[in-house]
Structure 1
Amino acid sequence: MKKKRAKTPTPKAGASRWLLPAGLLAAAITAGVVLGGLTSESSSKAAAKPAAVPQAAAKPAAARPTPQATTISRVKLDLEGAPAFGAADAPVTLVEFTDYQCAFCRKAHATLNQVKEKYGDKVRLVYMQNPLAFHKDAPMAAKAALAAGEQGHFREMHDLLLTSADLKQGALLAHARSLDLDISAFTTAMTSDKFNDRIQQDQAQAVRVGASATPFFFINGRSVRGAQPMTAFEAIIDEELAGDLLPTKWVASAATRSRRPAEDPNKIYKVDMANSISRGPKDAPITLVEITAFQCGFCKRSQATIQQIMETYPGKVRHVVMYKPLRAPTGAIASLAADRQGKYWEYRKLLFDNQRAMTDQNLQLWAQQVGMDVEKFEKDRQDPALAQFVQNNVRQASSLGVNGTPTFFINGKKLVGAQPFAAFQKIIDQELNSPDQAAAAS
């Protein structure tokens, strides 16, 4: 009978939900005591010291400029429920946003092993999931790590995933067997929707804090982007461990430190809409490009607004759809397969109405529901051309500076987010009343 591996330690109940490192807190308290005592201590020494014998005035020393301390920007993270290893009160907390199919995450993994070896108990490691849309095996790998974590072996599975080239289901099951996991429970958890909310929460937080790529790290709230060398981690960790009071500014996002200039609302972006799905006249005076994701709650919210636009401006708006999936492009590819049978808009509605239920079984059920040939639908879903089309959309969205969904382009003018109808109406009316449109109408 195989001997079970020892479970990796899990965080103690009641650990702090928010990232506020113990070292930083202690430094702040110390600063309060020291600074609070300076004035009284100086005053008492001055009173006790005998008066000095008058002497010739010495030449005053040249005043030296006071060095300006650099303010450290830190981001507050919600770590509740995330796999964590190390003491909750460790002086340094290192949070990693990762994608198991990301080559740079694999490279960074070796560096983090060096961090663990060098600093030991001084660093607490916290793991967040951010599988990228164009890595089709990454979402299930993330679920595999979390499923292993349920049986006390998250970190071992995490290590295996980042050192294995194969992330297909068979390989994930092989990893589970090598860890002596309960295979039935592991398989059920990995292949279900059980961890969807956990992964979506991590990804939503990644967007909120500006962790726009993988790997992305926060060391006591200080951001480190990409597979940096060990020296980059050492520089920050050593500074945090030194115990010096570092001038700190808490910011909402890592992107806040290098905030981009506000975009010109009149800037016209050139959007390549070749082969994109659309409705409305091709020669309509208004082209509304929607960059969307079927897993995005704000994208779902914007559907009613889009419908209101189409009804308010009949025959004047061409609605074009492009994709930037939050996770695996499952819904986008399924919708494109539906378009091949002329069922795009009916199927699209079902996808938005059932955002958390996009299993293979349901995708087939909905295909049947709208009258599709399910066998052809499944064959089309496997067509690499559809996955490539979505990936091309993602690339173009990035080139247009699209960092989130939904994002719209109205005759090339960018409008970000699930804005109210009035925001769209303002731009559309301006476009319809522009001199160019008036000339075209005459």
Structure 2
Amino acid sequence: MSKVDDESKPSDDETLEESRTIERLASLEAEKAKQAPADDAKAVAEASAAVAAGAGGGEPPAGGSKAKAKAKAKGEDKSKGNKLLGNLVFVLGFFATLVAGYYVGQWVRVKFGDKPQLEDDQRYRVALRGDEPQRGPDDALVTIIEFADFQCPYCADSAEPLESAMSGYEGDVRLIFKHYPLPGHKRAAPAAYTAWAAHQQDQFWVFHDRLFAAKSAIDKVPDWIKELGLDASKFGEDMESAAAKQAVDQDTLSGSKVGVTGTPAFVVNGHMYRGKRDEVGWKQIIEAELEYAKDVADDQDLERGELYDFLMQDALDRQVGAPATGRTKRERRPGEPDDSAVYAVPVEGAPSTGPDDALVTVVEFADYHCPYCARVKTAVDQLLETYPDQVRLVYRQRPLAMHPQARDASKAALAAAEQGKFWEMHDLLFLRQSKTLDEFKTLAEELGLDVAKFEADYQSQAIEDAVAADVTVAQRFGISGTPAFFINGRYLSGAQDFSVFEQIFQERLVEAKTLLEGGTPASGVYAKVIADGKSSVKE
């Protein structure tokens, strides 16, 4: 039986008629309650009151009953409020515990987590002009030198975590920015020149953030100039100036010397760290370098501003594998070219690929049956692909006596050149390692050459003399082994990695651009570079 029915039940001394009347009233009022809206609490209360009144002979409920009902409702509201407040406190406490746990965990990772792994223990001295964009004081105990490309998504992702990490070490860390626009990113160099122009009006870091956000696009630059109230005329002149290009080239070169080959790259108190990191990763690096810096400063009784120069005293100017000049001069074999000198290696008449007016000319001496020549081909090809408008490769034959059929392979390549297919034959000779005339003729047929003409040229005295002439040039410049290279006249020996070729290329490119800015036409750069060069290894 429902609560309503129970409350309306008549007492024992009531008549049967009264009982039936009460039951009818109860039934009618209950029906009304069902038809009333679910949220109409007042209607339900009135129905219950009417039933109760019928049970009492039609007398209205006493005033005390109303007071009790109100008190009960008030108590229920208070109970609900307390419950809601309790739930809210619980939720807030739960989230507070999560947040506190997160930050405690971060702190533990920074203080007691794995120490950052160094690429090697060596420190490297990055060449600084003194006018680079900088955040933090000159006497900071930790110096971070960043090499970045505004079109590089990893560089963009690195900016905020590094800035956040540095904010916890105010006064102890400084960040120096250097440009390293990658060759494959066409918008990177214009963005770098834009940032340099902004730096001339003390707005580098504003443009730094906006260029990363815009993914190196510079179409909004006029709006930014207007918004910031900059001198638009000066900005445009600075952006297009030779000084901007020279500064960016110098930054790139300084990175290449210490082993930067991609972005982002960071040199922290001389230690190399590559790639992006989260905030905690950066804090670990800063903590480790800061702890060591403080120990050195205390032990050596150094002022804060003296520490960085002290750490750089024994640092290397170049990473191992970079071209050896200056204080890390490599020992030469007897009769070998000096890798710090310039040699006037002729290029006339030799097969070449790349523009004739390229700013950097690479002359290669190689043997088709030399395994090291085959191995280095990948790095050379990568250099050509990376800098297609700035590199020219000139190939000269240097078949070695230890490879009896190598001279014949050189003749096959030059015979194919008579029909305009030198480089195609060149690639197949390295790939197939062909050694006999029949094998060379098979390659010629694959390339669609006139095989009869190919064979006639192969056996001609002219081709024999051409090979002999290349060997004579090689001997004059001390090339007794292969592969050997002269990059704008500078000697490089052996099957080096792409990074080494790129480092030397960047150095030679800076020199070439200086000549270009001085009025030398691009087509005359190589002749100008080697004009005062040595004409033989004996000079």
TM-score by length of 1: 0.47
**Of the two structures, which has the highest relative contact order with CA contacts closer than 8 Å and spacing of 6 or more?**
1
Higher helix share: 2
Pick the structure with greater CA Rg.
2
